[in-house]
Structure 1
Amino acid sequence: MKTFKLVALSIVHGENVEKLDLQDGLIINREYGKENWLIEALLPKENPEKYQSILENKQTVHVQATISKPTNDPASFEAVIRNVAVMDERMSILFEGELFRRNNNYPEKLLESLVESGFNGDELLQAFKEKINEKPVLQKSK
């Protein structure tokens, strides 16, 4: 197993990225052949019911984790919540997930999607710059 410092964490909802207020965290590569990772995030105790509901409903969530340094590109995971521990002022959320890799032709697909949505000129450029930096989950690793 390999353990890394988690420096940022987001949940992806379609095209929207919800940045979590990460206070501390670890990410562990369990090295089980299928890119299986554990992600523990220490968050402020805000809306623990949301995470408890995801856990109870066994929902899969797409998360983006930035590892080691804030300047690193985030890694994308398809994950489930394994535990929600609520403390006095904080909560710990334990995710278990499988690593995804970004599709090699992502920029082209993004541009095509934006043009189809009616963007052009400066608006197209601005929308492209914003979306390209969100780095959404696109392709499962093999």
Structure 2
Amino acid sequence: MKTFKLISLDIVENDNSVEVPLEDGLILNKEDEHSTWLIEAYTDLSKYDYFKKIYETGREIIVEAVITKKDNAPAYFQTRISSLQKFEQHISVLFQGVLRRNKSDYSELLLDNLIQKGLQGEALLNEFKEKMKSKPKLKVKDS
């Protein structure tokens, strides 16, 4: 099992993403036969009702996580909430899921996004270089 620091977390829903303001967070690669990952987000109490609705329905959600360093490309996980704990001022949300390898290559997602915007040639190359440095959030298409 390997443990990493969770730097940022977003919930990806349709064409939107909901930023989860982290007080703290961890992500664990269980390195089991199912390639399971656990993501714990310790966040503001104001998100409790949002996560409670997701938890009660048991539906799968895609999360975008930046791990270890702010500069790292985000990784996408297909998850379910396995635990939701309420504290005085914060909540702990535990997600369990698998890495979506086909969604984890940021450069491919970025290039596809720029091509969809109609960029080509020198303009495409310049925008790609700029965005690879700034790493803006991208919309994720379902497989």
Q: 2:140, 2:31 → 1: CA distance? A: 21
| Distance 1:72-1:84 versus aligned 2 partners, 3 A rule | same
**Do 1:100 and 1:137's aligned partners in 2 also have CA atoms closer than 8 Å?**
no
Unaligned runs of 5+ in 2: none
1:117-132 equivalent positions in 2, closer than 5 A: none
Q: 2:142, 2:33 → 1: CA distance? A: 17
What's the TM-score, normalizing by structure 2? 0.77
Q: 1:11, 1:24 → 2: CA distance? A: 16
Matched AA of 1:13: E
Deviation at 1:134, TM superposition (A): 1.6
**Do 1:23 and 1:43's aligned partners in 2 also have CA atoms closer than 8 Å?**
yes
1:41 matched residue in structure 2:
41
Q: 2:75, 2:59 → 1: CA distance? A: 20
**Do 1:74 and 1:135's aligned partners in 2 also have CA atoms closer than 8 Å?**
no
Confirm whether residue 9 of structure 1 aligns to residue 9 of structure 2.
yes
1:88 matched residue in structure 2:
88
**Do 1:80 and 1:96's aligned partners in 2 also have CA atoms closer than 8 Å?**
yes
Q: Which moved more, 1:97-106 or 1:76-85?
A: 97-106
Q: Which moved more, 1:18-27 or 1:105-114?
A: 105-114
Q: Matched residues, percent identical?
A: 33
Q: 2:51, 2:108 → 1: CA distance? A: 33
Deviation at 1:95, TM superposition (A): 0.3
2:98 matched residue in structure 1:
98
Deviation at 1:112, TM superposition (A): 4.4
2:69 matched residue in structure 1:
69
Confirm whether residue 133 of structure 1 aligns to residue 140 of structure 2.
no
Structure with greater helix share of residues: 2
Matched AA of 1:52: K
Number of residue pairs the alignment of both structures matches: 132
Matched AA of 1:114: K
CA RMSD of aligned residues (A): 2.9
1:29 matched residue in structure 2:
29
Q: 2:111, 2:67 → 1: CA distance? A: 26
**Do 1:100 and 1:139's aligned partners in 2 also have CA atoms closer than 8 Å?**
no
Unaligned runs of 5+ in 1: 116-120
